[in-house]
Structure formats: C-alpha cells, structure tokens
C-alpha cells in the first residue's frame, strides 16, 4: 500500500494520506469530496524492474484527471477519469520514480496534486560468492556436513543447491553464514551453487565452490621388519621397515600400540629403525596411516626377535682338568659349557682351519690332538640360534706319550 502526498495549492497546505482515507474540501461554497484516494504503480509494488509500469487510480467521485511525471504537471491535459490509466514511462535511470496526479470532480473543483512513488531497480546483487569451510580443504565426516560463507552486495534473498539447476531449491532470506549444509552423497569432488535476488527481484549470476569429500581411510596397511625375517642380531639394533598403505600421505610409527611417543610424519615406503638394546627378545613395531582428509587407517604391526647377545658363561675343560694327556691315540675328552649356545666350532688351530659349525654338545668324548708331544691348545667358539658368536675360548694340556 502506497503513501500518497496531497498538495492543496490554494491554501498551501500539505496532506499525507496512508491507506484508504476520505478527504473533503470546500471551494467557493461548493463541497468537494474525494474518497478512498490511492495510486497504485505496478499493482502497488515497492520496486519494479521495468521502466514501463501500469498506473491505477482509486478515487471515488473523480470525473477528470491530469497525469504527469513532473510535480507541476507540465504538459498534462485534463482528460476523462479512468481508474486503469494504463502504461506509464518512468525513464531509463534507476532510482525512486514519482508520478503526479490531479483530480477534478463533477463541479469542476480540483484536488491537490497527489504523488505516487516506486523504485526502478534493474541491477542484480553484485559480487556473488560462496565458500565451503572445511579443515584442510577436505570433508571426512560421514554426514558430509559443512558450513558455508556466502556474500553478495544488495542481496535480500538467496538460493543454495548442490545442483547447478537448483532443482527443488527455494528462495530464503539472505544471511552470510550457513552453519549446517549437507553435501551431495558419496565421495569425490562435490560442489555447492548459490544465487542471490534483491528486493526488486533481480537475480545475480550463479556462484559456486567445490570441495573433496573423502571418508575412506588408507587401505591395506602393512609393515614388515627386515623383509619378514624371524630375528635380527644387529649390534646396534638397526632394522629396516617396509611400509605400505593405499592412499596414505602420513604415518605414525612406534613400538607402543597407543603411539603415545609418535608424531605424524610424511608417508614413505621404507624407514630405518633402531631398537634399544634392552630388552632382548621379541620386539613389535606398529604403524598407522592418515590421508589428506585426515582419515586414519587401522593399525598394522610386525614383530621380530632382537638378540645380539652371544652365549654366555663359556668354558672348555680337557680330560677333567688333567695336566697330561697320555692316551697313545692322542684322544682327549672335552667338556663344554655355554649358556644359550646352539652351535659350536672346535679346532686344534687358532684360525679354525678346516673347522665347521656343529650342534652344541656338552661332552665330546674323543677329540684327537695333533701328533707332537708337548703342550697342546684346543680352541672353541659358540653360536646361538640368532647367529651371535662368542670370542675364542681355549684350554691346554700336555701330550706325553
């Protein structure tokens, strides 16, 4: 409903009428009454996108009228009153437009000038924009919920959709922040489209933003230590980890299953690792992976026996500790001891020439010495199941035959 401004030229009095009102004037002792005066431009709309609009005049008792775009009615002629005036040109320039009307009753009395207003606006909202907020530029929550930041100058309404056709979307009031927007189902690149409308009905162009949806963690996580060997006896406890996971960009590696001492590091397929010297025995290494969308894989692990300690408490006794060997065939009995030994190597020579590893035995009932009489030395080394070797253990006896 429009506000009509009435100018009474004779008395220089300004009247304002809102809505359906009745105004009576007396001129030269004749009663002049105009009831329910109202001007409707473009059906009463506040805005128009067209420079040509319809004019409708409601004025009970009017017989003639003048209509003009100018406040002093320049160029306007009296004509028969008709409520549906028809089209009126507002001019091309945007902004507030005014139309002026003066009425005459059957006695020839003239009304003040009545003013009608409408705003011509053909400029759509400017700089449309939408931004999808997601940490790291990826969406990994199963519900695919994101927040949107939208913007357009002079916007009154907006329409948001996951489709460029805006199918089943509706206009809603403009707001710069949309906290809970659900993206299209599935993984992969997803888009959001937005367009804006002002109060005059002008629509902006379509703005869009895209983001990657990924809620699938790295697949097939694996780790092996030293190529899946059963044990290692490296003196420094060094091993090589072979690592794999499809889609991984980061990884955590630890000997603790809760990864409490580990930090995320770039994904790589091999990694040098060093065990602490204690405890010896089975050691486990754990690994888990993360992709760009921060999805974490399940934990993979592998174990290996770490033992770089050779057999301990090693000893060699010849003939029960006797000083002389008097067997004419030069045989002696050896008693051996080595905690953790699985193999042994015995020789009459320090360089163990011709000797071979053989299963460890505590007693060797017959060991033949070399031929010459005199002091004889026997040398022995021990080895455990992990390949750790002792130094040389020796004992001597005098051959006297």
Q: What is the CATH number of the domain that holds 384?
A: 2.60.40.2470
Q: Domain boundary at 179, 213, 247, which?
A: 213
Domain-ending residue, one of 66, 90, 120: 120
Comparing C-alpha atoms, which of 67, 87, 69, 86 is closest to residue 77? 67
Check whether residue 237 and residue 173 sit in a common domain.
Answer: no
Q: What is the pLDDT of residues 294-349, one digit of tens each?
A: 999 999 999 999 999 999 999 999 999 999 999 999 999 999 999 999 999 999 99
Residues 9 and 110 placed together within one structural domain of the fold: yes
pLDDT at 324: 96
Which of 160, 180, 213 is where one domain is finished? Answer: 213
Q: Can you give the pLDDT at residue 32? A: 61
- Considering the domain architecture, whether residues 58 and 12 belong to the same structural domain is answered as yes
Q: Which domain holds residue 344?
A: 312-399
CB half-sphere exposure, 176, CA atoms < 13 A = 4
pLDDT of residue 8: 34
User: How many distinct structural domains can be found in the chain?
Assistant: 4
Domain CATH number, residue 264: 2.60.40.10
pLDDT tens digits, 217-265: 999 999 999 999 999 999 999 999 999 999 999 999 999 999 999 999 9
Nearest to 60 by CA among 79, 81, 43: 81
Contacts of residue 311, Cβ cutoff 8 Å, sequence gap at least 6: 338, 339, 340, 341, 382, 383, 384, 388, 390
Per-residue pLDDT at 7: 32
pLDDT of residue 189: 92
Q: How far apart are CA 401 and CA 399, in angstroms?
A: 6
Where would I find the beta strands (DSSP E) of 69-216? 79-80, 84-89, 95-104, 110-120, 126-133, 138-139, 145-153, 157-161, 172-173, 177-182, 188-197, 207-213
| Model pLDDT, residue 3 | 35
Measure CA 119 to chain center: 45
One domain for residues 359 and 376: yes
Specify the pLDDT at position 31: 58
Residues 26 and 87 in one domain: yes
64 and 115 housed in the same domain: yes
Q: What is the pLDDT of residue 136?
A: 77
- Give every residue of the chain whose pLDDT is below 70, as ranges: 1-34
Tell me, what's the pLDDT at 216? Answer: 92
Q: For residues 198 and 122, is the Cβ–Cβ distance under 8 A?
A: no
Same domain, 156 and 229: no
Same domain membership, residue 160 and residue 104: no
């Amino acid at each position: 409903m429009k506000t009509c401004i009435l100018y009474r030229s004779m008395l220089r009095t300004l009247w304002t009428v809102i809505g359906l009102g009745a105004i009576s004037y007396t001129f030269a002792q004749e009663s002049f009454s105009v009831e329910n005066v109202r001007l409707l431009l473009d059906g009463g709309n506040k805005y128009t996108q067209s420079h040509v609009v319809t004019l409708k005049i409601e004025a009970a008792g009017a017989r003639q009228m003048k209509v003009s775009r100018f406040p002093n009615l320049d160029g306007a002629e009296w004509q028969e009153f008709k409520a549906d005036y028809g089209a009126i040109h507002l001019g091309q320039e945007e902004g507030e437009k005014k139309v002026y009307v003066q009425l005459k009753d059957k006695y020839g009395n003239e009304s003040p000038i009545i003013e009608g207003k409408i705003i011509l606006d053909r400029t759509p909202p400017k700089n449309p924009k939408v931004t999808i907020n997601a940490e790291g530029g990826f969406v990994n929550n199963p519900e695919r919920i994101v927040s949107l930041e939208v913007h357009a100058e002079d916007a009154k309404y907006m329409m948001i959709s996951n489709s460029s056709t805006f199918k089943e979307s509706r206009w809603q009031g403009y707001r710069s922040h949309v906290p809970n927007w659900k993206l299209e189902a599935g993984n992969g690149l997803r888009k959001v489209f937005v367009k804006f409308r002002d109060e005059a009905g002008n629509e902006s162009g379509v703005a869009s933003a895209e983001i990657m949806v990924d809620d699938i963690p790295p697949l097939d996580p694996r780790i092996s230590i030293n190529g899946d060997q059963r044990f290692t006896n490296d003196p420094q406890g060094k091993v090589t980890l072979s690592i794999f996971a499809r889609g991984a960009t980061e990884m955590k590696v630890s000997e603790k299953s809760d990864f409490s001492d580990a930090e995320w590091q770039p994904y790589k397929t091999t990694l040098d690792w060093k065990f602490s010297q204690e405890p010896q025995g089975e050691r486990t290494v754990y690994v888990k992976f993360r992709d760009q969308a921060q999805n974490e894989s399940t934990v993979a692990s592998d174990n290996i026996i770490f033992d770089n300690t050779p057999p301990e408490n090693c000893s060699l006794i010849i003939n029960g500790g006797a000083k002389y060997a008097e067997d004419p065939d030069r045989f002696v009995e050896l008693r051996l001891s080595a905690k953790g030994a699985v193999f042994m190597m015995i020789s009459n020579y320090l360089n163990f020439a011709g000797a071979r590893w053989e299963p460890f035995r505590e007693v060797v009932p017959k060991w033949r010495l070399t031929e010459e009489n005199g002091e004889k030395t026997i040398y022995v080394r021990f080895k455990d199941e992990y390949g750790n070797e002792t130094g040389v253990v020796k004992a001597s006896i005098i051959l006297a035959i």
